[in-house]
Structure 1
Amino acid sequence: MTAEATPVELPWIDEPRFRCFGCSPRNKIGLALKMYRTDDGGLATDVTFADDYASYPGVVHGGIVSVLVDELMGDLIALDRGLLAFSVTLRTKFLRPLRTGTPYRAVARVVREGAGVVHAEADVLSSDGEHHVMASSAYQPISSEQATGHMGLVGADRDRLAHYFDHSIG
Structure 2
Amino acid sequence: MGSVDNGPVSEPISLRLNDQLCFALYSASRAVTSAYRPLLEELGLTYPQYLAMLVLWERDSLPVKELGAALRLDYGTLSPLLKRLETSELVRRERSPEDERSVLVSLTPRGRDLRDRAACVPGSMGRTLGMTAQDADHLRGLLRELAERFA
TM norm structure 2: 0.28
More helix by share: 2
More strand by share: 1
Return the index of the structure with the highest Cα Rg. 2
TM norm structure 1: 0.25
